Structure 1
Amino acid sequence: MKAFIGMLIMMGILHLPHLDMYWQVDEEILSTPGISEIMSRDKFLQIYRFLHLADNRQQHPAGHPRHDKLFKVRNLLNLVTAQCASNYTPHQAVTVDEAMIPFKGCLNFKQYMKNKPTKWGIKVFVLCDATNGYIYRMQIYTGKNMESNLDVGLCSRVVLELMDGLEGHEVYTDNYYTSPRLYMALYEDQNNACGTARTNRTGFPKSIIRRTREDRGYYNYLSNGPLLAAAWYDRRLVYFLSTFHDGASHGETVRRTNPDGTSSDVPCPPLLPDYQQYMRGVDRSDQHIGYYNVGRRSRKWWKRVFAHLIECALYNAYILERYSNPSLYAGYPSRRKRSYLSFRIAVANQLIGPYRFRQRAGRQRSGEHSETRLNLNLGHWPIQQTKKLECVVCNMTRNKQHLSRSELRHETRFKCSYCNVHLCVSDDRECFKLYHTKVEYWNTS
């Protein structure tokens, strides 16, 4: 299983359209011996087909009080989330946002989000370290939960659950989560918060809302205890809430492009630089997860979740190695700095290790590749054997032309001394010559 997961990681780097293409021998330009020599095609596909993360016989049916929509991935999900939270302490600034696991099949909690690059899929609420994108906690959305606290909305409940047990942090959210009620609840839990806001949230001050067009750089704010509400006009009016920023401007500016193509500094709220810097934690992790994703198209939704959990574990392990072994990432003049790609390759190699499948006796052919088969300087000589076996050229020609065994089948006692394959050596058949002089030796035209 370790070798299987290591192969999945390598397949995310060397991506081919279909899984069986990694074992094809017809097109040598697409051959991947680094993968095909680890495990046979049939064994890999059988593992991938019959892979399960839970015993389906223990699943409660729909309508049962203990029915779990995530039963198929619950064990692995709990394991990954527990390890992510126990092996790392996030920096002061954290981000809460949604991520999408791509899936377009039939699923009752599939979501559509028009503003996401992946518009159809499974929504995941994520708490990330805003400094490096480390995925500290996650929660898969499975639809409306009737057992949840009805006094608290979904957005507020998600943020409070993800922040449970954390103190002294600064939480950055977008306008989907931001509300005065949520921010005051976080403040009572000794956490601060900052983010863009919607004006229709309960408790948002109506006096700060502007209905007319303002000059670019317009800024106004109101405060009530620790809670600050701010309005700023950039290309349009943007509203903010914060519990730890000062409303008084100290000359902060942001660079913006004018309609004529020139750039100029525009006055901005004092909280804007922090918001722009720390709101990208989830986007940073999504960016790395999308580079070499191990996920494959599947009708089974839980396989996409399985691939996403592997990607989350890989990225978090990459962050942990950066902090635990900084010498690999120092960028010495004599060697390149360790990249996320080289880290994935190293993990795959450690998972695969020395595991290699053993072919059946007589199937291994040392001269199968063109660079050795067509090199006449290696000493390709016909030698006679006592046992007859089928000619390789005749066998491949029959398969390519879709002929029956009765139409084309020849057995011979002669084989190549270097390639270790049986080939016809006779006056009416030139199989030995074709095999060592043509790339497509089965093509007689």
Structure 2
Amino acid sequence: MSSSVPKHPKQSRFSLSEVLEEMDRSESDGENDQLSGLESADSVSEAAFEDGLDPLQDFEDTEENPPPSTSESFDVSQQKRRRSIPTPLPYTTSSKPARPVESRRASTPTPTTSDPEERWKFVTEDDVEPVQHRFCPARAPGAQLDTSKKYSPLDLFQLYFSMNVVQSLCTNTNKNGEKQQAQGKKYQWDPVSIKWFLGILIFMGLLTTHTVRDYWSPRRPYGIPFCHTVMSRKRYEAIAWTLHISDPEEDNENDQKKGTPQHDRLFRLRPLLDSLLLSCKTYYHPRQNLSIDERMVASKARIGFKQYMKAKPTKWGFKLFVLADAHNGYTCDFNIYTGKSKSVSGKGLSYDSVMNLIKVSYLGTGYHLYVDNFYTSTTLFQDLYKLKFGACGTIRENRQGFPRTKENAIPKKADRGTIRWIRSDKLLYTKWMDTREVTMCSSIHKVYTGDKVQRRVRNEDGSWRTRNIPVPTPVKAYNQHMGGVDLSDALIKYYNMAQKTKKWYKNIFYNFIDIAVVNSFMLHKELAQAQTTKALSHKTFREELCKQLVDIGLVEQEASASTDKLCVPVAITKGKELDPSMKASFGRRHCALCNEGKLRNKTPWKCEACDVPLCVIVDRNCFKKWHMRKEKKT
């Protein structure tokens, strides 16, 4: 059945059959584009993620839909413009007249209340405080250590970098060193002691130079003796180049699984990552207020899950979702973002990022969680409430579930301190006018309890004065408890030990050391408070830890040397089969003691225990002088 359509004087009209055919073609094209985007959504999701958006939670603001048309025909170009995301519509091919087709948006939110007269309420209207869950932590909040004992900075650091972890690092680094040497690398490789290396890294965070080589430079204004007394520059560089966390042979097996679900993108970090996460949870239990936020680990290494965040101070690097105690910034748990993947829950990355960090078996119930507008959503807060977790955070007005009503909303030129609110079941949505409008969502607070904040406002004559303005309870609590991750980041960046490297996993490894040091410092402060003693400052704590790591490395080396070898002169070529004519000259090295006096004397002798080349001749016994000086130092 076809119907004739009267012509419009200004724009052309189509018959109903032409309209349906055109819509069917456009819808099929749009649907194909949408499906292909979901199958390989890296470009769409990553672009949204860089802007702090969640594709499954956020949508574009568009005007309200116009009332349904009563005509059997309409302008196809206008219909296309109204749909921000194509969605298939039910069509009829029967001879009956077709229904009027309304403009649709795929992401149009459902109203949060069933009351059609719902509106934004004034602050003077009564609000009901939501029922609070009882705070029942799984363990007593605070350090999970014996408060009657004394713990040195090294003891606390070894809770996160245990002997097993250090031994694994040494073993895998030595394997990687032997592998690289077999591949033709020219630097000399000897078995590594990782504790010296860690001590120097922490020292480099305390004292920053332009290049690593400046730490060993003897010329003014450098001349820094500390690193030179621990190990040579070449030795440090050899360890830094060869450092490896996982087993190189197992790395090759994992690399062969690329493109399959069994491939682990974080395999090169896995041994240390799992151990560090377990230690962070084991030795401390957080207090009631928690915060979740992002942390950027600076890097420009070539790897697929490196992120570019244009709004962050650190724009290039790896993104970590971090759960921290709002009281002191202790890092309780974290996840490393490895790029686009299908949402486990189907509710978006922001939802999954929070739920992956909230483990009731580890934390308990009754906690209050504070997040920013990337994470906050109606669905998340409702599900957290079911887990007996309260939540509060800033929220985007275009996020699904946010009240869509404009009735009695804050006008654009409202006075500072103006408050509007809507309560939908357990959730409170609040708008507050500061220098600009602030929008909050909370399942913990009432809208207003009489709190005020001071703001500077301009008088009519241009002068400034301080004025007390009302502030909603969720805003005040958010400002007080949201800074847990930021505090942890600040403590890390004060003495950041990150070094330039082309290997992505080394960037994250250096950040792991920072996390371990900062968490150790937090435990030190908790223990000092429990024992009513004065805690060390952050800088002093790092200085003591640096010295203790280096000293224990020296003790271990001396103990190993005393049990295995004696300090006796032996030929450098000992154990090597050489032509008799070459024994007097082959393998000669510069004497360590002569080299300090800027003499370039070579010797075929070395100390068997110290592995140091030293002269042993009639008129110059550097071997004896070296060991006499060593005994005086000890």
Q: Using the alignment, how far apart are the partners of 1:243 and 1:135 within structure 2?
A: 24
Task: Tell me how far apart the structure 1 counterparts of residues 531 and 592 of structure 2 sit (CA, whole Å).
Answer: 42
* Counterpart-to-counterpart distance in 2, 1:98 and 1:322: 25
1:223 matched to 2:423? The reply is yes
1:115 to 305, 308, 311: 311
Residue 48 of structure 1 pairs with residue 48 of structure 2: no
Write the distance in 2 (CA, Å) between the matches of 1:235 and 1:120: 31
Report matched runs for 1:401-420 at 5 Å: none
In the TM superposition, residue 152 of structure 1 has moved relative to its aligned partner by: 1.6
2:449 counterpart of 1:254: no
| Kept in 2: contact 1:322–1:329 (CA 8 A) | no
User: What is the alpha-carbon distance in structure 2 between the residues aligned to residue 63 and residue 280 of structure 1?
Assistant: 39
How far apart are residue 281 of structure 1 and its match?
A: 0.5
Specify the code of the residue in structure 1 equivalent to 2:449: H
Once the two structures are superposed, residues 289-340 of structure 1 have per-residue CA deviations (whole angstroms, 9 ceiling, x without a partner) of: 0011111111111111000011001100100111123388855xxxxx5111
Distance 1:195 1:41, change over 3 A: same
Q: CA deviation at 1:193?
A: 0.3
Aligned 1:13-412 pairs, distance under 5 A: 13-25=206-218, 27-55=219-247, 56-61=251-256, 62-146=258-342, 148-165=343-360, 166=363, 167-207=365-405, 210=410, 212-247=412-447, 249-259=448-458, 260-326=463-529, 330-331=533-534, 338-356=536-554, 362-364=591-593
**Displacement of 1:133 after TM fit?**
0.3
Task: Quote the offset at 1:127 in angstroms.
Answer: 0.4
Counterpart CA distance in 2 for 1:391 and 1:144 is 60
SS at match of 2:392: strand
For the 8 Å contact 2:590–2:601, the answer to whether it is kept is no
Which amino acid in 2 is paired with 1:3?
A: W
Larger-gyration structure (1/2): 2
AA in 1 matched with 2:455: R
Uncovered stretches (5+) of structure 1, i.e. residues with no partner: 332-336, 370-388, 393-412, 422-445
Distance in 2, Cα, partners of 1:367 & 1:296: 29
Change (3 A) 1:328 1:298: farther
**What secondary structure sits across from 2:221 in the alignment?**
helix
Q: Do the aligned partners of residues 270 and 150 (structure 1) sit closer, same or farther apart at CA in structure 2, a change above 3 Å counting?
A: closer
- Offset, 1:203: 1.0
Paired amino acid for 1:319:
M
Percent identity of equivalent pairs: 35
> In the superposition, relative to structure 1, how do residues 86 and 327 fare at CA in structure 2: closer, same or farther (>3 Å)?
closer
Letter in 2 for 1:363: A
One-letter code aligned to 2:438: V
Q: Which amino acid aligns with 1:325?
A: A
What SS does the aligned partner of 2:230 have?
Answer: coil
String of CA shifts for 1:362-386, please: whole Å, max 9, x gaps: 42369869xxxxxxxxxxxxxxxxx
Q: Deviation digits for residues 238-278 of structure 1, max 9, x if unmatched?
A: 1100001012x232111112244432211111222211110
Deviation of the 1:2 alpha carbon: 1.0
For residues 263 and 211 of structure 1, the distance between their equivalents in structure 2, rounded to whole angstroms, comes to 23
User: Residues 113 and 390 of structure 1: is their aligned pair in 2 closer, same or farther, counting only changes over 3 Å?
Assistant: closer
Letter in 1 for 2:283: N
The number of residues matched between the two structures is: 372
TM-score by length of 1: 0.78
Give the Cα–Cα distance (whole angstroms) in 2 for the partners of residues 288 and 150 of structure 1: 34
Q: Deviations over 1:204-263 (max 9, x none)?
A: 11226546332211101111222111111111111100001012x232111112244432
Aligned-partner SS, 2:284: coil
CA distances 1:23-67 after superposition (whole Å, capped 9, x unpaired): 222x14301211111112222111111111112223233202211
Residue identity matched to 1:97: D
Q: What do you get for the CA RMSD once the two structures are aligned?
A: 2.8
Deviation at 1:173, TM superposition (A): 0.5
Q: Deviations over 1:110-130 (max 9, x none)?
A: 212233221211111000000
Aligned CA distance change for structure 1 residues 95 and 59 (closer, same or farther; 3 Å): same
CA distance in 2, matches of 1:367, 1:120: 44
Judge conservation of contact 1:175–1:197 (CA < 8 Å) in 2: yes
Which amino acid in 2 is paired with 1:344? R
Residues in 2 aligned to 1:343 and 1:144: alpha-carbon distance in whole angstroms? 39
Q: Is the 8 A contact 1:103 1:120 kept in 2?
A: yes
Which deviations, in whole Å up to 9, do the C-alpha atoms of 1:393-417 show, x marking residues without a partner?
A: xxxxxxxxxxxxxxxxxxxx999x9
SS of the aligned residue for 2:438 comes to: strand
Cα 1:367–1:202, aligned 2, differ >3 Å: closer, same or farther? closer
The one-letter code of the counterpart of 1:222 is: I
SS at match of 1:116: coil
Q: Helix, strand or coil for the counterpart of 2:295? A: strand
Distance in 2 between residues matched to 1:190 and 1:109, nearest whole Å = 34
SS in 2 for 1:143: coil
CA contact (8 A) 2:203 2:543 kept: yes
User: Contact (CA 8 Å) 1:329, 1:338: kept in 2 or not?
Assistant: no
For the pair 1:3 / 2:196, whether they are aligned, the reply is: yes
| In 2: Cα distance, 1:13 partner to 1:317 partner | 16
Q: Is the 8 A contact 2:452 2:471 kept in 1?
A: yes
Structure 2 residue ranges without an equivalent (≥5): 1-193, 559-566, 568-588, 603-617, 627-634
- Kept after mapping to 1: 8 A contact 2:594/2:600: no
Write the letter of the residue equivalent to 1:68. D
TM-score (norm 2): 0.55
Distance 1:390 1:140 in 2: 51
What is the aligned partner in structure 2 of residue 381 from structure 1? Answer: none
4+ residue segments displaced more than 6 Å = 357-361
- Kept in 1, the 8 Å contact 2:372–2:395? The answer is yes
Matched with 2:120 is none
Question: How many Å separate the matches in 1 of 2:492 and 2:212?
Answer: 20
Q: Provide the C-alpha distance between the structure 2 equivalents of 1:414 and 1:34, rounded to a whole number of angstroms.
A: 33
